[in-house]
Chains A and B, each alone.
Chain A
Amino acid sequence: MNDITFLQQYWWFLVSLLGALLVFLMFVQGGQSLIWTLGRTEEQRRMLLLATGRKWELTFTTLVTFGGAFFASFPLFYSTSFGGAYWVWVAILLCFVIQAVSYEFQLRRGNVLGTTTYRVFLLLNGILGPLLIGTAVGTFFTGAEFVVNKAAVASPSMPVISYWTTPWHGLEAALVPQNLLLGLSVLLLTRVLACLYFLSCMADATLRETCRRRLRIESALFLVFFLCWLVCWLLSTGFAYTPDSGVIYMAPYKYLHNLLDMPVVAALLLIGVLMVLGGMAGGLCGKSRSFWLAGPGSVLAVLALLLCAGWNNTAYYPSVASLQSSLTIANSSSSLFTLKTMTIVSFIIPLVLAYIAWAWSALDRSPITAEETKEEH
């Protein structure tokens, strides 16, 4: 507990775990993006939205906690990325603002914007949320356009320590193909998971069959994009640093080496990918429990990828504008005292997971029926 290096690694693990859980829980977004694709009738659309409507707050909370945990453990990332890649983060936030009201308001009387407007909001959140988050996370491996200069605090006329070097404030990340590939992979993964989730909780046979057929297309597209990204990632030159001096340098095949240097992480990635594939295969065969194979699989795979971004002396938020400004878990973390305090708080996480599991099972005990959509909530 008194070793800051250990605590930095621990908090990178927790932040990565939250990120991985967020990707898994974004099956809610995937489901929203499929409202009109899967829901041929109003009744079906209501059933789909009831299914995701019970879970959206969990996804939302995970996003907020992910942000809070990043702020608390690696405040320099929070300060640099949010203040610099302004437009990307504002766009992501707006996507989630419109989601937050839509489930509650869409079917209420007196709804001046109309039901369709809120469903379009859900669709936008469903597509843009995962796409933008995936693209933004892509910069963890490809770099971003920022400069950090802590000495600026001693300059009263311009004391801001970090700034962006392009006027696009983060939107330029969408021009990097590798980032876009990751964004599309995340979007398609959420849609795959959504199809599997609907298979697990819907009573309606027609709707289940529609989900199963849709799963074929989404799975195929996901595999194409994800494999392209994975190959690029494994072959790419990464951003490494020397632990003693903190000097950042370019390292060929850095992420491939990370997997080789950290066999447990490599195993997590492999197991995760296999579980996602197994879940897809099970879903295509109509097995309703496949969601619980692919979902945890996606958590393991994303966790492994994010661990590769920050562990093994890797700069997790590289700067392509000023290499030595790149953020590592060593140069951007909170103090030893804060990390220790936060670590004690983190021991409560199993309790949180336990009551989430109870609530999840209590609500999903019986499959969703058309009758249930007529009840007032």
Chain B
Amino acid sequence: MSALLDSLAAGFAGDATCRAALDDALRLGLPQPRSEAWKYTSLRALERRSFSASTAAASVPGAQLESIPSPRLVFVNGHPDAVLSNLEGLPAGVSITACGDTRSRSIANGSTGHTADDVFVRIGLALATRGVSLHASAGTRADSTIHLVFVGTTTEADLAWHLRNEISLSDGSELTVVEHHLACGPHAHLDNGVMHVDLSKGSRLTHARVQSGSSSGTSLLRTEATIAASARYERVDLELGASLSRHELVVRMTGPGAALVSNGVMLAQGRRHVDTRVRIEHDSPESTSQLNWRGLATDRGRVVFRGGITIHPGADGSDARLSNKNLLLSDAAEIDTQPVLEIHADEVKAAHGATVGQLDPDAMFYLRARGLGEGEARILLTAAFCREPVATVFDGPLRDFLVSRVDDSLSALRGGLS
């Protein structure tokens, strides 16, 4: 077994069900080198590392979180922090708790896959004794945004934590959630998470996830969402930080008229590796999915994107659109993109496209002919390229906030761009 899995398993405490689930995962081990699902993301460096279990919360200066308004629930190194959390202004009908050990239930309900490719999800479910549970009751119309904040801090040892979070919306409810993953000081922790999202009939969730973790950190996440009839899920993922970030987003549309908008921005600079794997399952008729993902790789960075959409038998009249455009800004950077569309139904509209290229030379010349320097023109065009997926989902202050997060990350690239 690998040093990695050994060290993660050493943090185990729990009953026989959890132990069995963990042993099951350990027996299969890490994904095989030939695994299709992990083809572009090597675990060779990670498997040799060991992490200590995160056993206690650490302190974070409150000022660090000033820009994130309440209601907010804050986790530090995988532990809920009652002092930093502030649930003031929580809309009526919305409940949010830092939940305790729900492993037996989540393992029993687990539909998370049973191969070595799913090792981190399975280990996560066996080890996750904490997480967030966010629920909107039927008919709730929440007008304020709920913030879920996950902070990693500098510590002596490299830590690992596993969180199992859930967001569930009852019939006809509406909620906006922003997940913040950020670093307070440099660290090389492993943040392994599973997020379950369950949208009941006619509900509507708007969800942003800003991953701006430590530049040496590792972020592994599986999001599993189900969208019932006439429910709508709109999300934006900003992959701006961490040394290795792998996000598997699995969305299943289980009722007629279910709708998904999933946009994202993936920035890979330095030696960052960003891997996003989207799997959309159209199970029901008249369901729609629209995906707009943008990737940018510079220096020795690497972006991996797989957008898989399956329209199953019976999902007639479904509409699926996937666009993945990428900017490759240095010779040593790499982008691997793979749109996969499978259609087994009738009267389906589906389109997908993926491109990898450089900035448009006509636009560059236009800006320079008006007086902007080459570097400035590049920055302007790059920012515009990255903002679009955000601006089509969010507006108002949330859009401004998310755009400023993207802009901040891009300004850190300035040297590389200009």
Q: Do A and B bind each other?
A: no
**Chain B interfacial positions (CB closer than 8 Å to A):** none
**Chain A interfacial positions (CB closer than 8 Å to B):** none
